[in-house]
Copies of this chain bind each other. A is one copy, B any other.
Amino acid sequence: MSGSLSVIGLGPGNPQTLTPEAAAALDSADALYGYGPYLDRVPSRAGQTRHASDNREEGARAAAALRHAAEGARVAMVSGGDPGVFAMAAAVCEQIESGDAAWRQLDVAVVPGVTAMLAVAARVGAPLGHDFCAISLSDNLKPWELIERRLAAAAGAGFVIALYNPISRARPWQLGKAFELLRQHLPASTPVIFGRAIGRPDEKVTVSPLDAVDPSAADMATLIIVGSALTRVIERPGLAPLVYTPRSADGAGT
């Protein structure tokens, strides 16, 4: 009997945004692997083991889960948001490619989820309503120069930009530097959205113009959306403003 590994997206963290497919995959697993705070979001079930690991140990965590599945277990790896977006699905594939040949014979499934940029965008309107990109601001696995090149290419071509992993204790200056660079390409009034913990009790969403944005207001769990030159803010007396990017653009992308 061969085991299986499901890599499961929990969505932004509120059980109301967990898909029935993901809930069923979690429930049917013999063993759960994941970063501790994500595992804590999954209701416990008798007979199911839990294997929490630290944030920076994706490769080792993926290998441990694959080894367990190869022993015949039904293993679930939990990921925040969508597992395919700066999360565990790529780490699992890396281990399958480089690891034990038997791992290629496992039943591996990825169960998608609502990734952070979609949850944050929904809260303010439709800032991703036109062409957009997603960039991880972490320079742990790629050089900072490449990140700068991508930010410039994206802003210069009129993409809205979602920034994942914007800041951490070990990477304190990168977000400020990114905003500095983006200010060379985008109007000072470009709306910038900071969102975290969407749908959870500590949810926080703010909208600021690019020239007034404060990098220190972000943390590891913040998802940032930087508008394009087209992104608009609709003021609504007594209500939060709506932020959206129109579906149309002229030849200049503006």
Contacts and interface: CB of A to CB of B under 8 A. Distances in A.
Interface of A: 9, 11, 14-21, 24, 58, 82-86, 89-94, 96-97, 104-105, 108-115, 118-119, 121-123, 125-136, 141-143, 145-146, 149-150, 153-154, 156-159, 199, 232, 234-239, 242, 244-253
- Copies of this chain present in the complex amount to 2
A251 to B, nearest CB: 5
A19 B114 contact: yes
A165 B246 CA distance: 16
Which of A109, A135, A157, A249 has the most B CB atoms < 10 Å from its CB? A157
A116 B16 CA distance: 20
Nearest to A24: B16
Given A19-B17, A90-B247, A133-B134, A96 B234 contact: yes
Contact of A19 (B11, B58, B86, B154): B11
A89 B159 contact: no
A9 B104 CA distance: 34
A111 B149 CA distance: 33
A142 B248 contact: yes
Contacts of A18: 19-20
25 contacts: A15-B20, A16-B20, A17-B19, A19-B19, A84-B129, A85-B129, A86-B129, A89-B121, A89-B122, A90-B245, A93-B129, A94-B247, A97-B234, A97-B244, A105-B236, A108-B242, A112-B122, A131-B135, A133-B154, A143-B249, A146-B252, A153-B154, A153-B156, A153-B159, A154-B159
B136 A133 contact: no
Nearest to A21: B16
B126 A92 contact: yes
Nearest to A253: B146
Given A85-B118, A143-B250, A234 B15 contact: no
